[in-house]
Amino acid sequence: MPQLVDTHCHIHEADYPLDVDETLTRAREAGVQTLLCVGTSEQSSHGAVEFAATHDGVYATVGVHPHDTKDGYAAIADLASRPKVVAIGEVGLDYYYGHSPRDVQIAALETQLQIARKHNLPVSFHVRDAFEDFWPVFDNFSGIRGVLHSFTDSVQNLEHGLDRGMYVAVNGISTFTKDERQKAMFMAIPLDRLLVETDSPFLTPVPFRGKVNEPGMVKEVAKYHAATRGLELSELAQRTTANAEALFRFASAI
């Protein structure tokens, strides 16, 4: 069975609607041996660290989502050195909703990039309708490596990310989008930069639309991208798993 990594999920959250032990069992049965629980706030990041500590094959990222930056992000500095923390994230800029002021989002992003650089950790980036401000901030921090999580933006911003050494993560959106520009952009992601994720419980892929998303469903994302590229699932799984291991360096986080 092809081995996969779900590089972005939120099953550690208290309101995750499925039984987590059963969720992890189904993930293993689908070939998902490694998954990343991603922090979105100080509390969520604490939860991700605690969840990873008690579950094999589960790692944590710690960070404050741009929506929540108004509520604080000081705890991330201490959490970054905890066992099984493999990245800072998800952090970035989101101007679509404006839940936090733009200047607060930028300050939080800068602080968390400083933490990433201090601990030599990659970064999981959430950027929505804000790339014009994001790239100048990113370019101020040399040596940062990371992934553009849930990327659905333009080919131009894809190229900007690739030029900066970024990985690009795709999820269920790619299996159901009707936007031909997005479809073309997904095909333009080089195989050596591609990651797969669920963002569960959100963005459930085809053919499970209407159900709660879970890490095992990352197999459907991988199957879709293998098919569109004319590859065997085993090859795409091998390549995306190697990419995830290269970026997040799971073995060194124990």
Q: What are phi and psi of 19, to 5 degrees?
A: -65, 125
C-alpha 178/C-alpha 152 separation (Å) is: 12
pLDDT tens, position by position, 1-60 = 789 999 999 999 999 999 999 999 999 999 999 999 999 999 999 999 999 999 999 999
Residues ≥6 apart with Cβ < 8 Å to 12: 20, 37, 44, 47, 48, 50, 51, 52, 60
| Residue 253 reports pLDDT greater than 80 | no
Task: Tell me if 126 is assigned to a ligand binding site.
Answer: yes
The confidence score (pLDDT) of residue 199 equals: 98
Tokens of 205: 């892929």
The confidence score (pLDDT) of residue 252 equals: 60
Task: Tell me if 8 is assigned to a ligand binding site.
Answer: yes
Tokens of 149: 């999580």
- What letter represents residue 246's amino acid? A
| Residue 118 reports pLDDT greater than 70 | yes
We report the CATH number of the domain holding residue 123 as 3.20.20.140
Distances (CA, A) of 142 to 64, 71, 113, 150: 21, 27, 10, 23
Q: Tell me the residue range of the domain where 37 lies.
A: 4-253
The confidence score (pLDDT) of residue 95 equals: 97
The confidence score (pLDDT) of residue 1 equals: 78
Q: Name the band, by pLDDT with cuts 50, 70 and 90, for residue 254.
A: low
- Domain total of the chain: 1
Task: Tell me if 90 is assigned to a ligand binding site.
Answer: yes
Q: Which residue has the higher pLDDT, 1 or 94?
A: 94
Task: Tell me if 65 is assigned to a ligand binding site.
Answer: no
| Residue 109 reports pLDDT greater than 70 | yes
Task: Tell me if 10 is assigned to a ligand binding site.
Answer: yes
DSSP 129: S
Distances (CA, A) of 201 to 29, 158, 183, 213: 18, 25, 23, 4
Nearest one of 89, 52, 32, 117 to 254, comparing CA atoms: 52
Nearest one of 51, 30, 70, 89 to 208, comparing CA atoms: 30
- Please compute the mean of the pLDDT values over residues 82-99 and round it to a whole number: 96
Task: Tell me if 149 is assigned to a ligand binding site.
Answer: yes
Q: Which residue has the higher pLDDT, 183 or 252?
A: 183
- Please compute the mean of the pLDDT values over residues 198-214 and round it to a whole number: 98
